[in-house]
Amino acid sequence: MNRPATTPEPPYYAVIFTSVRKSDDAGYGVTAQRMLELAARQPGFLGFETAHGDVGISVSYWSTLDAIKAWKANAEHVLAQQRGKAEWYASYRVRVCRVEREYGA
């Protein structure tokens, strides 16, 4: 992805996932890529943006809160979340947001 996600007219929803990874994060990259592929197939998925520096920030966009709940409960995603907590993340925050307004160029 080399451009901002293309999303519809608000309102829609965003999940901001901010994380700091441990130095030993074996398996993270493969799982992250797999989760993106799975998420993109979920009903209500609108787009995704990610960037990594001192922290990693991944934002996924969704049509409804129910679509976010369904993705959170996806069986393979649940396993990835458990592994993330146990192995990969020194700290993380998940913020579920309603996008009220969008503009750009």
Q: How many angstroms separate the Cα of 61 from the Cα of each of 5, 11, 26, 68, 104?
A: 8, 11, 27, 9, 16
**Partner residues linked to 56 by β-bridges:** 19, 52
Lay out the site mask for its own copies across 23-62 (x = CB under 8 A, - = otherwise).
Answer: --------------------------xxxxxxxxx-x---
For residue 74, give both structure tokens: 């996806």
Q: Which span sits near its own copies by CB under 8 A: 8-16, 22-30, 31-39?
A: 8-16
* Residues engaged in binding its own copies (CB under 8 A): 1-5, 7, 10, 14, 16, 18-20, 49-57, 59, 65, 85, 89, 91-105
